[in-house]
Chain A
Amino acid sequence: MSAGDRKEERVSFDYHEPTTLREAIDLGARFGGDARFLAGGTDLMVQIHRGRLSPRHVVSLQRVPGLDAIEVDGTVTLGTRVTHRRVETTAGFQGALRALVEGAEVVGGHQVRNVATVGGNIVNASPAADVVVVLLALDTTLTCLGPSGERTQGLDSFATAPGVTALRPGELLTRVSFPRLASRSATAFLKAGRRRAMEISIVCVAARLTLDADVERCRDVRIALGAVAPIAMRARAAERYLESRPLTDETVREAGRIAAAECRPIGDVRASARYRALLVGTLVPRALNRCLERIRNPAS
Chain B
Amino acid sequence: MTRIPLSLIINGQTFDVLAEPHRTLLDVLRTDLGLIGTKENCLEAECGVCTVLLEGAAVNACILLAAQCQGRAIVTIEGLAAPGQLHPLQQAFIDHGAVQCGYCIPGMILAAKAYLDENSEPDENGVREALAGNLCRCTGYQRIVEAVLSVARTVRASPEAASHRTAR
Asked if A15 meets B21 with Cβ closer than 8 Å, knowing A109-B134, A111-B58, A198-B46, the reply is yes
Q: Is the CB of B64 within 8 A of A41?
A: yes
Q: Is the CB of B63 within 8 A of A46?
A: yes
Q: Is the CB of A13 within 8 A of B22?
A: yes
Q: Is B109 an interface residue (CB 8 A)?
A: no
Mark interface residues in B1-13 (1 if CB within 8 Å of A CB, else 0).
1101000000000
Q: Is the CB of B40 within 8 A of A41?
A: no
Q: Is the CB of A41 within 8 A of B21?
A: no
Q: Which of B10-35 contact A (CB under 8 A)?
A: 20-24, 26-27
Mark interface residues in A5-32 (1 if CB within 8 Å of B CB, else 0).
0011001111101000000000000000
Q: Is the CB of B43 within 8 A of A112?
A: no
Q: Is the CB of A112 within 8 A of B133?
A: yes
Q: Is B80 an interface residue (CB 8 A)?
A: no
Q: Is A49 an interface residue (CB 8 A)?
A: yes
- Residue of A13, A17, A46, A111 touching B51 (CB-CB under 8 A): A111
Q: Is the CB of A42 within 8 A of B45?
A: yes
Bound complex: CA A138 to CA B30 (Å): 44
Q: Is A2 an interface residue (CB 8 A)?
A: yes
Q: Is B65 an interface residue (CB 8 A)?
A: yes
Q: Which of B50-93 contact A (CB under 8 A)?
A: 51, 57-60, 63-65, 67-68, 70
Give the shortest distance, in Å, between A126 (CB) and chain B (any CB).
14
Q: Is the CB of A12 within 8 A of B20?
A: yes
Q: Is A110 an interface residue (CB 8 A)?
A: yes
- In the complex, chain B residues whose CB is within 8 Å of the CB of A14: 2, 21
- In the complex, chain B residues whose CB is within 8 Å of the CB of A111: 45, 48, 51, 58-60, 111, 133
The number of chain B residues touching the other chain, given as a range, is: 35 or more
- Residue of B44, B48, B65, B67 touching A109 (CB-CB under 8 A): B48
Instruction: Closest A residue to B70 by CB, please name it.
Output: A17
Chain A count of residues within 8 A CB distance of the other chain: 33
- In the complex, chain A residues whose CB is within 8 Å of the CB of B132: 109-110, 196-198
Q: Is A62 an interface residue (CB 8 A)?
A: yes
Q: Is the CB of A198 within 8 A of B133?
A: yes
Q: Is the CB of A46 within 8 A of B1?
A: no
Q: Which of A44-74 contact B (CB under 8 A)?
A: 45-46, 48-50, 58, 60, 62
Instruction: Closest A residue to B134 by CB, please name it.
Output: A109
- In the complex, chain B residues whose CB is within 8 Å of the CB of A3: 43
Q: Is B114 an interface residue (CB 8 A)?
A: yes
Bound complex: CA A13 to CA B51 (Å): 24
- In the complex, chain B residues whose CB is within 8 Å of the CB of A17: 67, 70
Q: Is A97 an interface residue (CB 8 A)?
A: no
Give the shortest distance, in Å, between B47 (CB) and chain A (any CB).
9
Q: Is A108 an interface residue (CB 8 A)?
A: yes
Give the shortest distance, in Å, between B122 (CB) and chain A (any CB).
13
Q: Is B103 an interface residue (CB 8 A)?
A: no
Q: Is A75 an interface residue (CB 8 A)?
A: no
Bound complex: CA A41 to CA B61 (Å): 11
Q: Is B130 an interface residue (CB 8 A)?
A: yes
Residues on B facing A (Cβ under 8 Å)? 1-2, 4, 20-24, 26-27, 40, 43-46, 48, 51, 57-60, 63-65, 67-68, 70, 111, 114-115, 129-134
Residues on A facing B (Cβ under 8 Å)? 2-4, 7-8, 11-15, 17, 38, 41-42, 45-46, 48-50, 58, 60, 62, 85, 108-112, 114-115, 196-198
**Closest 8 CB pairs between A and B?**
A109-B133, A197-B132, A15-B21, A45-B63, A114-B57, A109-B132, A111-B133, A111-B60
Told that A4-B40, A14-B21, A41-B68 touch, could you supply 15 new A-B pairs with CB distance under 8 A? Answer: A3-B43, A8-B23, A8-B27, A11-B22, A12-B21, A15-B65, A45-B45, A58-B22, A85-B57, A110-B111, A110-B114, A110-B115, A110-B132, A112-B60, A198-B132
Task: Please list 16 pairs of residues, one from A and one from B, whose beta carbons are closer than 8 Å in the complex, sorted by A's number.
Answer: A12-B20, A12-B22, A15-B22, A17-B67, A38-B68, A41-B64, A41-B68, A42-B63, A49-B63, A85-B57, A110-B130, A111-B58, A111-B59, A112-B60, A112-B133, A198-B46
